[in-house]
Structure 1
Amino acid sequence: MQPHGLIVVGVDGSAPALAAARWAARLAGLTGGPLEAVAVWDFPCLYGEHGLVPPALDGFEPEHRAARILDETAAHCAVPLRRHLKAGPPGPALVTAAAGAALLVLGNRGHGTPPEVPLGTVAQYCLCHASCPVVIVRAGGVSP
């Protein structure tokens, strides 16, 4: 990895994502590279009679939830990090955010993946499509 190279970490508020953010922050501290945390939000849709219809959920604001996740992640990192919100499907959004980065760091699974599954769909997508190296961190994983 190049010194001073951008490290991008995908966060979703899960324990593996927090472990990934801490791992990435330690690496950024060692290399002197900038760290960017990316939270992706997408408004969930339900299938209805007339196609995709957003659910009517009072107070449900996924963009604000993603922004809170970025704030909480920043509070757990020992180095400054840039915060970036992206809208859309998580895999493609993270791959796009990591274009030109030295490294993409992710947790092994997010909230939607059952505990017995070792690697979630977003991590799998990023491993297959990212243009930079990808590091997958498990909650309770090892330090860099």
Structure 2
Amino acid sequence: MAGNESARRVVVGVDGSPSSHAALRWAIGYAQLIGGRVDAVGAWEVPMMYGWSAPPVDTALDEDVSRRKFQQELDQVLGDGQPVEVRRELILGNPADVLIEASRGAEILVVGSRGHGTFARALLGSVSQHCAAHASCPVVIVRPD
């Protein structure tokens, strides 16, 4: 199925949380059922300190670290040999906005119920709620295993 641009797309948000790992596994199973592919999408943001908008460190370094963590996480969850094609994409931006944009034209968007956001305790589930309210395709919210 590699390289099949006409395959039905299942977009899944990946952020390192247990519920995003469960969402990735769910997305793979669903894509297998519908003969589709999985677009595993992560988002990274420039760190903000004390409301100051200037980046405190080199953004290229932040991006490199984010990409390595993203790849390692996917390798850990996916293991060897997948029943469907899994495309990996890490995008700079707000996680909810990145996922909504990535899901345009998708069959479905899959997100975890609780992620690893900057303010995880205060905004628990805010990305999944925002996606459910604003995505242009059906959204499945998966709890951790």
TM-score by length of 1: 0.79
- Identical pairs, percent: 43
Q: Which residue of 1 is the match for residue 27 of structure 2?
A: 24
Contact 1:37 1:84 in 2 (8 A): yes
1:56 Cα deviation from its structure 2 partner: 3.7
Structure 1 unpaired stretches of 5+: none
Tell me whether 1:99 sits opposite 2:94 in the alignment: no
Measure the CA separation in 2 of the matches of 1:110 and 1:60: 23
Q: Which residue of 2 is the match for residue 109 of structure 1?
A: 114
Extract structure 1 runs of 4+ deviating beyond 2 A. 74-80
1:96-115 deviations in whole A, cap 9, x for unaligned? 0000101000000112333x
CA distance change for structure 1 residues 28 and 98 in 2, over 3 Å: closer, same or farther? same
Report the RMSD for the aligned CA atoms in angstroms: 2.4
Contact 1:47 1:53 in 2 (8 A): no
Tell me whether 1:8 sits opposite 2:31 in the alignment: no
TM-score by length of 2: 0.79
Contact 2:70 2:90 in 1 (8 A): no
CA distance change for structure 1 residues 63 and 128 in 2, over 3 Å: closer, same or farther? farther
Structure 2 unpaired stretches of 5+: 1-6
| 98-107 vs 62-71, which moves further | 62-71
